[in-house]
Structure 1
Amino acid sequence: MELSSLDYVAQACMDLNDAMSSVQSEAERDALIVNHIKKVWPTVIPMDDFKKNLEWVNVSEPISLAQHCADKIVILDFWTYCCINCYHVLPDLAHIEKLHKVENGLVVLGVHCAKFTNEKDSSKVLAAVQRYNIHHPVVNDAESHMWEAMGIRCWPTLLILGPANKPLFVLTGEGHKEELVWFVGNALRHFGTRIATTPLPMSLSGQVKRKEDDMLYFPSKLALNPFYRGRTDEPFLAISDTGHHRVLLTDCSGIVLRIIGGCEPGFKDGKLVDAQFDSPQGLCWLSSNVLAVCDTNNHSVRAIHLDEGTVEVLAGTGEQGAHGDQGGKCMGVQPLASPWDVMLYTTPDMDMSVRPLLPPPPPPPAAPGTTEKQKDDGKDDANKEKEKKDEKRRVLLIACAGSHQIWALFLDTTIWWKYKTFTEGTCVCIAGSGQEAARNSAYPNSAAFAQPSGITLRMGTSPEIFIADSESSSIRRLALTTGQVSTLCGGDRNPLNLFAFGDVDDTGVDAKLQHPLGVAYCDSSKTLYVADTYNHKIKKVEVGPQKVTTLNPTMIETTDPATFNEPSGLSITADGKYLYIADTNNHCVKILNLTKNVCQDFKVRLLEPKFTEPENLILYKNDMFLNRKCGNLIIYFNITLDSDKKNVKFTPGAPQNWLVCVRDENNVDVTQDFEFINSSHKGTKLPGRVEMKLKQKTDKFLFRLYMSFHTSLCDATVCFPHSFTLRSTILVRASVKMVESYRISCTVNPNR
């Protein structure tokens, strides 16, 4: 298809929108749309098909426009998964797909045209499709062949095709839900019987690098609890389990203490067990019992009150805020746009923090006749006033990726920049014009960000926040006493160049990052840590010289290099020794020991139910021994019956089922730590044999071996089941033989 044809359709759509702006009724609007279709469709050239050998998601075979879509209305969504505007279009596409199924004649196809190098990888596209719950077919047009052939200029662009794959409408940017409904509905009605109802070869893709028993699904952000005091029942770490639409609270060993939210997205306050989130991201502890959560798809910030057992809205309405909104409304009335990260800042009133330090004026002379008590009362009043001025005000800072701004929710009445007072509960934009760019400025409202997605605080005499400005691939800084915005590293000197990305360790803007999403600052070392997401790396920035270097840790278990897959969240311990990493596409959390430069998995898991000894337990008094260096244990066992009824016997031909379970000294099931050689941990015959070997060296001192039997017995008149368990102790030593064998004979009374 020639470029001029698409330009012709685009111009016709502009004329249509101008005409629709003045209509008075739905009938007039629909008539204008139909006239547009009649004008455009006969004159434009059918667009070319997709190139061969492209990789597809959610289909069992590649989609051909000519073969599968020639008699349908088709929406082509040109997108890239880093783009927040493309993200905002997805609910509109889901809405139109609910209104019109494939069988009704509508096909939605995602055409993924990468901005970043990392996004060209089909496995990353597949992960994004699953993370964003996209059910329609998506093609990875990694080299943007169709983008260039069609003359597409921006993400997102929606191109609506009529029969014969002829373009009818072009919609650029986000916020076209109504037009999408109008245009598709009228096109389906207009072409009527020409529309085919044949289905597409759909096949929703499976999981990516995730096991069914994994606790986490695309975890994005995390926050260590700064109020943690070491009690077993208080949270140590909060994790945004984004793909499961929930927040997990764990202890220091990774055991889950609380789960807030559920596997289905929603927007519901109230009790913790009933609360719902939609793709939560950034987290921040306001106190030891209150956690703020960026509920990103609900365009709000929520508060989890652990002491009260409730969830409530702090800011946001559940609907996306309008572009260019500067805020100023109160809490749950103020709309936001995709809040991505959040942090707490405590400050004295700004006039007190920036006013020159002058000696206090002398107190006025006491009036004649003033008593000593009245003088003391006057001093007390002055002290109270001073304490009030020195009192810290709490400000919740919010990185709103969807509006490219930094917002503030004032939890206390605060005097802010330029001595402007914001009352408690006010939510307002404090930096960013709303334009997507990387513009620095001494005036915060004229500065510009490009999808800010991570923030962290640096205190001191000149407090500031560092911002992961993902679409400009840079780290920005915002001074919290003046509002000045500048660049720490990455990006480009041209504020409009959002393609200055790469993987270069250097200084300032000469360093290059690729779509960073997370930051964490260590005050003791004056070092900033960056989740360089699309480079799959963790980098550190020496803030003074602005020097960027890559950390190359090894895994503590294997000494192999640690590998990350789009890490997006960081949190650092107060002593600066450990960095917790949300390794998003690996569906896990890792701990990086910064002192030793080694990494290990933080195993998030549910607490196993309390173990109780089985009934009919028989203790085998003789201990067995096992070499701690991957020793073998061979057990031969036989069971005989001891009964008052001499005619009780094992039922001929019936299986005599047995099962081996191994637990450690804490009663944790560790059967999976053993390899069963030439046998299994279960069987159906007596007598029996089991050979087991430690998979790896252990530091444990003992195990408890449980052999559970479920037998079938009979006497002269009836058959009946009988169950019992034999328990023995395995002592783990370094001095015993590598292969130890034992014979266990046990007599049981089936009448007990």
Structure 2
Amino acid sequence: MEFRVRAPELKGRGWLNTGGKALTLADLRGKILLLDFWTFCCINCLHVLDELRPLEEKYGDALVVIGVHSPKFEHERDPKALAAAVERYGVHHPVVDDGDMHIWQQYAAKAWPTLAVVDPEGYLVASMAGEGHAEGLSRLIDELVAKHEANGSLHRGDGPYVPPPAPEGLLHFPGKAIELPGGHLLVSDSARHRIVELSPDGETLVRAFGSGVRGEPFSEPQGLVLLPPGVAETAGYDVVVADTVNHQLRGLNLTTGAVTLVAGSGKPWRSTVDDHAHDALAADLSSPWDVAWFDDKVIIAMAGIHQLWWFDPIKRTVGVYAGTTVEALRDGPIPDVWMAQPSGLSVGGNRLWIADSETSALRFVEDGVMHTAVGQGLFDFGHVDGPAAEALFQHPLGVAATADGSVLVADTYNGAVRRFDPASGAVSTVDSGLGEPSDILVTADNTVIVVESAAHRLTRLAPGVVTTVTGERHKTERPPSHLAPGEVTLDVIFTPAPGQKLDSQFGSPVRLVVSASPAELLLEGEGTTTELSRRIVLNPDVPKGVLQVVAQAATCDVDAEFGACHLTRQDWGVPIVIDPAAPDRLPLILRGMDA
């Protein structure tokens, strides 16, 4: 007898992109549903949004994508912030606000992003975590279309998406800004997919680079850096642009207006880490979010894989600068550190300052070693001033070193500009009530300009009284997994997508990396292996913690002369509680099929 599971109902706080209508599974019967569990801070979730766009276009009359927004940060629980994020990232499907994580729990999600497929009869047929599933989803949808068209249960036609009104104004969710020689400002107008030059007032358009259409050539660009004159002359362009959603860097010649591709194949990174130099145009990048000139190279905040990379515009090569791709917070020599979506860079003296957004941290590199100035980890955040060891940010995206040695932080989800003073080790609040500030620019005359992304403007920071805020402390509380102390089996469940098989031509097709926070939680089982099942030993004296699990599986197409290869990858931060009465097995679904 075939065992089939009914999909749980979509009971949320509200709906977006439906014209105000709340949808039910009954309303969607007859369509193939693809539920995308996401949160708008998560770079992997943003990758999935882009992976789904071709599927939405290809299967538009048979497939309905539903975004299920299950928030991590407190700011993401705000319905207005969610509405802004849906607009910012060009989400063209209905989104249900799962602010209390009810739908998340009903579908047993354990990671952002998670995808679930529901057939036209209302049964859950597949679930998968992470990114890189587009090809497998396409094959699965083809199978479901054929099956349900044959039995008459597939109903083609328009879906429930209702587009929002077109935006107005000069800027639309600007990302980053730099000052040009002569005082003009260069701004990444991210949601309009262009770079704009503004007069020093920050309100008058001088010229625009790019068509303003996604992908022609820019797609949600972010960071900008002005090259030193000698380097610019040799390279043939003046500014390096982080073309974020295209996974590329572009060069901008300010004299001719020419835009040139200078790094990135255009394919998102799906490989392994090495310390070699690579041809810049052939390399796969992953959501470069900011760029800075440091150590005689362009340093790239590679948000998509939690690393810093370098780019040499003269040799036209790129390589890894810092980080292992593990998403967490760990300091030390830069090859071994852990980061979490580095999104802002600024150079002050011999230090490279970093806004490490998912750990809500301010970090810096000095003499080849990374340090954390402020920040406590992936799940601790808030708006608290005072000694750095006690201070908290909430998903900062921008940072600016100042002439007096202090550092300004665009504390994005707190809507504030914060100041860290290395001399005193204290954090204070300079301004608040801002619209998701994403960058800070200190001009040549020491004017401070804030990129208020959600307010679609640049704002000059007026000199004022620095305040001390003792706000709320938050800790992301996801439903934990209860596990027995001692020996536990960690199983990552992976089934190749339809038409694919595990690809062992270059060795083991799977890789599993396990660590824990605190480290004492794991008595045995830390490290990297080439199997998706692992025996670990949990410390009975550590009552709770987080298991950090990174899994990947390589597949290739079956029975194809020149079949494509694919890499599926996911990072989990699994909260666990030690419970003697709990199971001794932890299953995590990388890709699971029920049909």
Would you call these one fold, judging by a TM-score over 0.5? yes
Judging changes above 3 Å, is the alpha-carbon distance between structure 1 residues 118 and 219 closer, same or farther for their aligned structure 2 residues? Answer: same
Instruction: Say if 2:10 and 2:25, in contact at 8 Å, map to a contact too.
Output: no
Amino acid at match of 1:454: G
Q: Secondary structure at the match of 1:90?
A: helix
Cα distance in structure 2, aligned partners of 1:201 and 1:294: 35
Amino acid at match of 1:489: V
Instruction: Work out which of the residue numbers 507, 510, 530 in structure 1 matches 2:390.
Output: 510
Q: The residue matched to 1:593 in structure 2 has which SS?
A: coil
Residue 336 of structure 1 is matched in structure 2 by 285
Shift of 1:596: 7.5
Per-residue CA shift, 1:188-245, capped at 9, x if unaligned?
Answer: 11122211235444321236xx6x2x110000100112xx2x4xxxx62111111111
1:135 aligns to 2:95 (yes or no) = no
* Cα 1:595–1:163 shift into 2, 3 Å: closer
Q: Following TM superposition, by how much is the alpha carbon of 1:543 offset from its aligned partner in structure 2, in angstroms? A: 1.6
Q: CA deviation at 1:450?
A: 0.1
The structure 1 residue matched to 2:448, chosen from 576, 579, 587, is 579
* Aligned counterpart, 1:88: 47
Select the residue among 94, 114, 125 that pairs with 1:168.
125
2:240, 2:249 within 8 Å by CA — same for their partners in 1? Answer: yes
| 2:341 is aligned with 1:471 | no
Using the alignment, how far apart are the partners of 1:202 and 1:98 within structure 2?
A: 13
Structure 1 counterpart of 2:360, one-letter code: S
SS at match of 2:381: coil
CA deviation after TM superposition for structure 1 residue 307, in Å = 2.3
Q: Aligned partners of 1:115, 1:445: CA distance in 2, in Å?
A: 28
RMSD: 2.0
Stretches of 4+ moved more than 6 A in 1?
Answer: 595-598
Check if 1:44 corresponds to 2:4. yes
Matches for 1:516-535 after TM superposition, within 5 Å:
516-523=396-403, 525-535=404-414
Q: Is the 8 A contact 1:408 1:427 kept in 2?
A: yes
Q: Distance in 2 between matches of 1:551 and 1:596?
A: 7
Conserved in 2, the CA contact under 8 Å of 1:49 and 1:64? no
The 1-side partners of 2:264 and 2:155 are apart by 43
- 1:73 deviates by 1.4
Distance 1:596 1:547 in 2: 16
Separation of aligned partners in 1, 2:165 and 2:390: 40
Query: In structure 2, do the counterparts of structure 1 residues 64 and 237 end up closer, same or farther at CA, with 3 Å as the change threshold?
Result: closer
Q: 1:575, CA displacement in angstroms?
A: 4.6
What corresponds to 1:247 in structure 2? 195
Aligned to 1:121: 78
Q: CA deviation at 1:491?
A: 2.4
Secondary structure at 2:444 match in 1: coil
Rounded Cα–Cα distance in structure 1 between residues aligned with 2:39 and 2:77: 9
1:194 and 2:158 matched? no
Could you tell me how far apart the structure 2 residues matched to 1:595 and 1:154 are? 42
What letter is aligned with 2:106? A
- 2:305 pairs with 1:403: yes
Q: 1:128 aligns to what SS in structure 2?
A: helix
**How far does residue 61 in structure 1 lie from its aligned partner after superposition?**
4.4
Does the CA contact (< 8 Å) of 2:121 and 2:153 recur in 1? no
What's 1:218 paired with? 173
Local SS of the residue matching 2:9: coil
Deviation at 1:69, TM superposition (A): 1.8
For the 8 Å contact 1:245–1:263, the answer to whether it is kept is yes
Question: Structure 2 CA distance, aligned partners of 1:95 and 1:509?
Answer: 46
The letter of the residue matching 1:127 is A
1:489–1:546 CA contact under 8 A, matched in 2: no
CA separation of 1:323 and 1:56: change in aligned 2, threshold 3 A:
farther
SS in 2 for 1:515: coil
1:487 aligns with 2:372: yes
CA offset at residue 318 of structure 1? 1.7
Cα drift, residue 569 of structure 1: 1.0
Q: Is the 8 Å Cα contact of residues 429 and 466 (structure 2) preserved in structure 1?
A: no
Higher strand share: 2
Residue number among 151, 166, 182 corresponding to 2:108 in the alignment: 151
Which residue is equivalent to 2:329? 438
The one-letter code of the counterpart of 1:516 is P
Q: In the alignment, what sits opposite 2:572?
A: none
Aligned residue runs from structure 1 range 426-465, under 5 A: 426-441=317-332, 443-459=333-349, 463-465=350-352
Tell me the SS of whatever aligns to 2:138: helix
What is the alpha-carbon distance in structure 2 between the residues aligned to residue 66 and residue 343 of structure 1? Answer: 48
Counterparts of 2:255 and 2:157, CA distance in 1: 55
| Bigger fraction of residues in helix | 1
AA in 1 matched with 2:82: V
Match of 1:306 in 2: 254
The alpha-carbon deviation at position 121 of structure 1 amounts to 1.3
* Alignment partner of 1:72 is 2:31: yes
Q: Is the 8 A contact 2:430 2:464 kept in 1?
A: no
- Matching of residues 418-429 of structure 1 within 5 Å: 424-429=315-320
In structure 2, what is the equivalent of residue 278 of structure 1? 219
Asked if 2 retains the 8 angstrom alpha-carbon contact of 1:250 and 1:256, the reply is: yes
How far 1:141 sits from its partner (Å)?
A: 0.8
Bigger mean CA deviation after superposition, 396-405 or 282-291? 282-291
**1:545 equivalent among 418, 424, 434:** 424
What letter corresponds to residue 402 of structure 2 in structure 1?
Answer: C
Shift of 1:323: 4.3
- Answer yes or no: is the 8 Å Cα contact 2:397–2:410 preserved in 1: yes
Show CA shifts across 1:558-577 (max 9, x none).
xxxx631111011102353x
Task: Determine if contact 1:328/1:334 at 8 Å carries over to the other structure.
Answer: no
Alignment-derived partner of residue 564 in structure 1: 434
- SS of the equivalent of 2:34 reads strand
CA contact (8 A) 1:222 1:240 kept: yes
Letter in 2 for 1:486: H
- C-alpha separation between the residues in 2 aligned to 1:165 and 1:427? 48
1:538-557 deviations in Å (ceiling 9; x for gaps): 000002332111113xxxxx
Aligned 8 A contact 1:74 1:161 in 2: yes
Residue 256 of structure 1: how far off its partner (Å): 2.4
* Residue pair 2:360, 2:380 contacting (<8 A) in 1 also: yes
Asked if the contact 1:216–1:588 (Cα under 8 Å) also holds between the matched residues in 2, the reply is yes
Q: Percent identity?
A: 33
Distance between the aligned counterparts of 1:574 and 1:541, measured in 2?
21
Higher deviation after alignment, 402-411 or 75-84 = 402-411
Separation (CA, whole Å) in 1 of partners of 2:199 and 2:162: 40
Decide whether the 8 Å contact of 2:14 with 2:22 is kept in 1: no
In structure 2, relative to structure 1, the CA distance for the partners of 1:395 and 1:78 (3 Å cut) is: same
Structure 1 CA distance for aligned equivalents of residues 25 and 284 of structure 2: 44
Paired positions, count: 456
CA distance in 2, matches of 1:594, 1:528: 16
> Any idea what SS the aligned residue of 1:127 has?
helix
Of residues 136, 139, 149, the one that matches 1:179 is 136
CA 1:549–1:582 in structure 2 vs 1: closer, same or farther (change >3 Å)? same
Distance (whole Å) between structure 2 residues aligned to residue 542 and residue 324 of structure 1: 38
Contact between 1:506 and 1:512, CA under 8 Å: does it hold in 2?
A: no
Gaps of 5+ in 1: 1-38, 268-275, 348-393, 413-423, 493-497, 553-561, 599-752
Q: Distance in 2 between matches of 1:253 and 1:147?
A: 46
In structure 1, distance between residues paired with 2:9 and 2:448? 48
8 A Cα contact 1:323 1:403, kept in partner? no
